Amino acid sequence: MPTTIYLVRHGSVVGAETRRFIGHLDVPLSPRGEREAAALARRLASVKLAAAYSSDLSRARRTAEILTGPHRLEAVAVPALREFAMGRWEGLTAAEIRALDPAAFDAWMADVGRFQFPGGESLGDVAARVWPALEAIEARHAGGAVLVVAHGGPNRIVLCRALGCRSSAFSPWARTTRPCR
């Protein structure tokens, strides 16, 4: 029997309207994010979860806490499920990054899949930590239903790999979605 993984991105965060690169910055859920998580908790209340896991960043942990409330489960924090480390770009807007380092910004836009954030990670770095973590979770709960709360970047990597897409197919920054192969 296959394992069912409910892959969830954390709710909206405080300051989301500024559209800053958050990465490993530990920002809390906003009131909107709390409401989003509560709405999803109601939808998942009838699912029989065997376990729950989340990134160790507070926005993912809090989302998981809300989602697991009806199940009387406690999510296990897994640092490997963290968002991209965006290095020197964390806390900055795209306009600020473009002004500070236009060449790096253009390189990022030209090839998200191969770009390494200055002082941070590349897509390959994130995939190398996220996929093994997910495989370990799946192996621990074979045949069960598991909640995994992470971030946009890691979740896109998991979805691309599961669907057989190139890793950059669902880039949050791409102007168009590239097809799966």
Active site residues: 10, 83
Kind and range of the H or E run holding 174? none
Count the Cβ atoms, other than its own, within 10 Å of residue 106: 11
Classified as helix, coil or strand, 79 is helix
C-alpha to C-alpha distance for 124 and 9, rounded to whole angstroms: 20
**What crossing angle do the helices spanning 58-68 and 31-44 adopt, rounded to 10°?**
40
